[in-house]
Amino acid sequence: MSTRIGLIGDPHATAAPVAKAVSLLRAEGVDRILCTGDIAGYGNELDETVDLLIEAGCTAILGNHESWYLEKSTDRQDTRNRAFFEKLPAVVELNVEGVRLYMVHASPPRSDMEGIRLLDVRGDVLPESMSAWSERLQGFDYDVLVVGHTHQVFAERLADTLVVNPGSTKFNHSCAILDLPSMVFQVLPLSSTKVVKSWNWGTSWTLPILRPHAPLIAKKAGAHTPERIILRETTKAG
């Protein structure tokens, strides 16, 4: 048996990419959708973005922008969004198909600011960062760690954990699917826009478009079947 989990990251109050992501994930037949937080901030469509996530039955967590929103907002008329944010947990822990999954906005155990940044501005892996985070995650007792915050798209094995970031729907133009228990991580571009592998405040590097289903291998020590990172092109409707 297999469970397909849709991943949406850092929507930042921009509704159209979230709507596209939900549509793509539903078309792919995902069993549930998770959101890595930072629903608020930067954009001006917070109401619409929250509505989309609620309608999709999305399981979301608290990002730093939600925390700042709750701390600084003086708009007491916005009781609906405040109530939604106040109910968001800092972390989500799941056991799916025997796979232990932990989701936090930035990094475990509960940080919403100290992000796991593994790529440079060109989207290339930073070996020193990989090494440092592998050391930090020694003894982390989960099979999969889902994060957001850094606006980077990756799936890398750090210590004994597969760490994945679906990127931001707003800035990276991406969402993702995590298949369990196989741990296949599939990146879906939103519409015809190329995935931005690493987005850094105006400096970005696009992820080359591969043939549909062409795998990039993320090796797992001792595994018979490696995890695959798959970048798929989306066929435009009409």
Q: Tell me the residue range of the domain where 173 lies.
A: 3-231
Domain assignment present for residue 163? The answer is yes
pLDDT score, position 76: 62
**Angle (CA) 4 136 118, round 5°:** 60
CATH number at residue 36: 3.60.21.10
pLDDT score, position 72: 82
Query: Letter for the amino acid at 48?
Result: E
pLDDT tens, N- to C-terminus, the chain (238 residues):
899 999 999 999 999 999 999 999 999 999 999 999 999 999 999 999 999 999 999 999 999 999 999 988 766 667 889 999 999 999 999 999 999 999 999 999 999 999 999 999 889 999 999 999 999 999 999 999 999 999 999 999 999 999 999 999 999 999 999 999 999 999 999 977 789 999 976 555 554 433 333 333 333 333 323 333 433 323 223 3
Total domains present in the chain: 1
Domain assignment present for residue 12? The answer is yes
pLDDT score, position 226: 31
pLDDT score, position 1: 83
pLDDT score, position 37: 96
pLDDT score, position 203: 59
pLDDT score, position 152: 96
Domain assignment present for residue 236? The answer is no
Query: Model's pTM, two decimal places?
Result: 0.85
pLDDT score, position 78: 72
β-bridge partners, 162? 144, 157
Q: Under DSSP, is residue 120 helix (H, G, I), strand (E, B) or coil?
A: coil
Domain assignment present for residue 164? The answer is yes
Domain assignment present for residue 223? The answer is yes
Domain assignment present for residue 100? The answer is yes
Find tokens 């608290």 and name the residue: 62
From residue 36, alpha-carbon distances to 42, 84, 143, 183 in Å are 16, 15, 17, 18
pLDDT score, position 230: 39
Domain assignment present for residue 237? The answer is no
Domain assignment present for residue 238? The answer is no
* Residue-wise burial string across 203-233, b where 16 or more C-beta atoms lie within 10 A, e elsewhere: ebbbbeeeeeeeeeebeeeeeeeebbbbbbe
- Report the distance separating Cα 65 and Cα 50, nearest Å: 13
β-bridge partners, 204? 199
